[in-house]
């Protein structure tokens, strides 16, 4: 019960009031940016490729690896990376 009483006292603090005011004033901007990011993510996820010319495959794999490295997903960057990145690293090692 003491925690409920303590929580009631927190609501009277000026810092709490400023925090709540800041959340309310910036919430719409946050939601707008979030919606933009979600739309962008939807555009880039699930892309299907029907055919890649054989000669372009090494360049495509290298580009995928650079993208994965830019977000720290390659196996040499972290031990808990998704299993799908290991075959990409293996192929890149083979093609040099």
Question: What are the residue boundaries of the structural domains of the chain, listed by start?
Answer: 1-47, 49-96
Residue 9 scores a pLDDT above 90: no
Q: What is the pLDDT of residues 52-69, one digit of tens each?
A: 888 888 888 889 888 888
Q: For position 2, what pLDDT does the model report? A: 56
pTM: 0.45
What DSSP letter does each residue of the chain carry, written as one string? Answer: -HHHHHHHHHTTSHHHHHHHHHHHHHHHHHHHHHHHHHHHHHHHTT---S---GGGHHHHHHHHHHHHHHTT-STTT-TT--TTHHHHHHHHHHH-
- Span 17-41, pLDDT tens digits: 999 999 999 999 999 999 998 888 7
If one counts every other C-beta atom within 10 angstroms of the C-beta of residue 12, the result is 8
Among the listed residues 65, 96, 57, 94, the one whose alpha carbon sits nearest the alpha carbon of residue 81: 65
Average pLDDT over residues 83-93: 86
């Amino acid at each position: 019960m003491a925690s409920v009483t303590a929580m009631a006292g927190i609501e009277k603090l000026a810092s709490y009031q400023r925090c709540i005011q800041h959340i309310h004033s910036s919430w719409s901007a946050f939601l707008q940016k979030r919606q933009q990011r979600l739309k962008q993510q939807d555009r880039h996820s699930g892309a299907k490729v029907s055919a890649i010319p054989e000669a372009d495959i090494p360049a495509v794999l290298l580009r995928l690896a650079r993208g994965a490295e830019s977000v720290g997903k390659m196996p040499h960057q972290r031990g808990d990376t998704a299993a799908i990145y290991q075959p990409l690293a293996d192929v890149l090692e083979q093609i040099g």
